[in-house]
């Protein structure tokens, strides 16, 4: 090494001197060197043009750095969040969300720069808890269709694999059988938190589990959202208004809920879930959204789940009497599931936290609903009155002014248009296949 240095730097080749480098350098008198006043190391560097090389190297590195840096001011974090190719389907609101994930979680450091080649994300990664259920599976269909990578977490208590089986094999879809009461760590950009039994039959089956799902499950999902900097949407319910004293219900109404009744595990559970969601927003700066969903119906609802639309449809198809609880004058509003999914997605992508009522303001008494079911399925279906259940609210109708104004959303599908779509699905599931269904229909 020493001899090589001597060769390149000196006037003579190593062969010219009999001794090593030390001898060579000491052979020249110091006084004969230029820049003799400099220390020896600096003199050597100057003689070898080292500063020039260093300067060229620095210029080269600077040029490389400029070329590799992400374009646009301060948007270095955008690439991993918005690298989707599905520009048209995702609205401008989504772009807004994509731009600054750190803004909704300032405690979290997002590393600027490009994701290494081959690790670049394709679209949004979305977690849907309860995604194998009725509403969740329709939401998953829409998210997958727009190009997102969707992870469903569901314990299949009321959900069914069949609801999402058509996505099996799609690399953009994953399903994890997991109970949200237990923590889980996933990397996603958005969390739609739906996991919770929604029908009275199911949520009353194990009330302690229901409230645990609402409280501990929601805490776990909020904790996850905080940790990974994801946006979180809670599917709350019109049940937070209890047996309302105000009609129709506006989001500012605080409700009239029995805290110790048989429905409280659900009603109070959802109210607590809303509280937790807002506390995470205020305390941890989490980006949150809250939807208060009113009665929704459509294909893939659980048959015999005690919800009035599915009850009536299943009963009419099976030629059983339609059971009406109480005098049948209590009112409900019914929204078709595709309207709800549209509202949920607009809420998630939009700028407003909510809560937002998402429901169809068209109000029906139970007897009017029974009449629509008779008209759609079997005009001869009988109605049977039963004693009303405890805490059954008398009136329920959403005021959706806020959703109209801030989300630009309102339901589109009328009950008489949506019901036949649900009937086709129920007929298939109750009678097995189309042939049987046709036979059953002919026999009516």
Q: Check: CB of residue 293 under 8 Å from CB of residue 359.
A: yes
The verdict on 132 binding ligand NAD (CB under 6 A) reads yes
The verdict on 150 binding ligand NAD (CB under 6 A) reads no
How big is the site for ligand NAD, counted in residues (CB under 6 A)? 29
The verdict on 349 binding ligand NAD (CB under 6 A) reads no
The verdict on 345 binding ligand NAD (CB under 6 A) reads no
E strands present in 134-228: 149-154, 173-177, 190-193
Query: Please, which residues bridge with residue 128 across strands?
Result: 152, 192
- Minimum CB–partner distance for residue 176 and ligand NAD (Å): 10
The verdict on 45 binding ligand NAD (CB under 6 A) reads no
Question: Cα separations (Å) of 355 from 119, 342, 367, 411?
Answer: 36, 16, 31, 17
> CA neighbours within 13 Å on the CB side: how many for 137?
21
Rounded Cα distance between 257 and 265, Å, is 11
The verdict on 213 binding ligand NAD (CB under 6 A) reads yes
The number of angstroms, rounded, from the C-alpha of 9 to the middle of its chain's C-alpha atoms is 66
Candidate list 79, 143, 195, 403; residue touching ligand NAD; CB under 6 A: 195
Is 192 noted as a catalytic residue in this protein? no
Query: For residue 104, which of 238, 253, 280 has the smallest C-alpha distance?
Result: 280
- Minimum CB–partner distance for residue 150 and ligand NAD (Å): 14
The number of angstroms, rounded, from the C-alpha of 397 to the middle of its chain's C-alpha atoms is 27
Among positions 263-302, residues that touch ligand NAD (CB under 6 A) are 293, 295-296, 302
Query: Which residue in the list 266, 280, 297, 336 is annotated as catalytic?
Result: 266
- Burial readout 87-102 (b: 16 or more C-beta within 10 A, e: otherwise): eeebeebbeebbbebe
- Minimum CB–partner distance for residue 222 and ligand NAD (Å): 14
The verdict on 235 binding ligand NAD (CB under 6 A) reads yes
The verdict on 156 binding ligand NAD (CB under 6 A) reads yes
What mask, x for binding ligand NAD by CB under 6 A, covers residues 361 to 380?
--------------------
Residues classed as catalytic: 266
Contact residues for ligand NAD, defined by CB under 6 A:
129-130, 132-136, 154-159, 179-181, 194-198, 213, 217, 235, 237, 293, 295-296, 302
């Amino acid at each position: 090494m020493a001899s090589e240095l001597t060769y390149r730097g000196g006037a003579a080749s190593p062969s010219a001197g009999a001794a090593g480098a030390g001898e060579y350098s000491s052979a020249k008198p110091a006084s004969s060197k230029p820049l003799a006043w400099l220390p020896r190391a600096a003199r050597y560097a100057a003689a070898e043009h080292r500063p020039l090389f260093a300067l060229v190297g620095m210029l080269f590195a600077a040029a490389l750095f400029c070329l590799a840096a992400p374009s646009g001011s301060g948007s270095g974090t955008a690439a991993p969040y918005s690298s989707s190719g599905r520009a048209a389907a995702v609205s401008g609101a989504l772009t807004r969300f994509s731009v600054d994930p750190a803004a909704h979680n300032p405690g979290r450091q997002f590393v600027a720069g490009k994701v290494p080649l081959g690790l670049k994300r394709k679209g949004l990664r979305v977690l849907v808890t309860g995604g194998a259920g009725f509403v969740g599976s329709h939401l998953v269909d829409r998210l997958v269709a727009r190009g997102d990578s969707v992870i469903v977490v569901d314990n299949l208590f009321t959900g069914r694999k069949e609801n999402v089986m058509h996505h099996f094999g799609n690399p953009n879809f994953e399903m994890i059988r997991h109970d949200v009461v237990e923590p889980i760590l996933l990397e996603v950009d958005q969390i739609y938190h739906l996991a919770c039994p929604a029908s009275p039959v199911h949520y009353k089956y194990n009330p302690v589990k229901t409230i645990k799902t609402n409280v501990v499950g929601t805490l776990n999902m909020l904790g996850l959202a905080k940790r990974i900097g994801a946006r979180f949407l809670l599917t709350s319910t019109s049940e937070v208004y209890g047996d309302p004293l105000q009609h129709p219900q506006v989001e500012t109404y605080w409700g009239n809920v029995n805290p110790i009744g048989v429905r409280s595990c659900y009603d109070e559970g959802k109210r607590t879930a809303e509280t937790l969601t807002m506390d995470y927003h205020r305390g941890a700066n989490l980006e949150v959204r809250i939807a208060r969903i009113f009665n929704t119906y459509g294909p893939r609802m659980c048959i015999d789940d005690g919800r009035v639309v599915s009850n009536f449809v299943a009963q009419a198809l099976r030629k059983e009497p339609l059971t009406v609880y109480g005098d049948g004058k209590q009112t409900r509003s019914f929204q078709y599931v595709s309207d709800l999914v549209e509202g949920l997605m607009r809420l998630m992508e939009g700028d407003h936290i909510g809560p937002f009522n998402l429901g169809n303001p068209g109000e029906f008494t139970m007897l009017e609903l029974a009449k629509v079911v008779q008209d759609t399925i079997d005009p001869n279906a009988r109605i049977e009155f039963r004693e009303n259940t405890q805490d059954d609210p008398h009136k329920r109708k959403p005021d959706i002014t806020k959703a109209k104004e801030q989300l630009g959303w309102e339901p589109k599908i009328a009950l008489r248009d949506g019901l036949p779509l649900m009937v086709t699905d129920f007929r298939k599931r109750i009678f097995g296949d189309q042939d049987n269904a046709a036979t059953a229909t002919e026999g009516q």
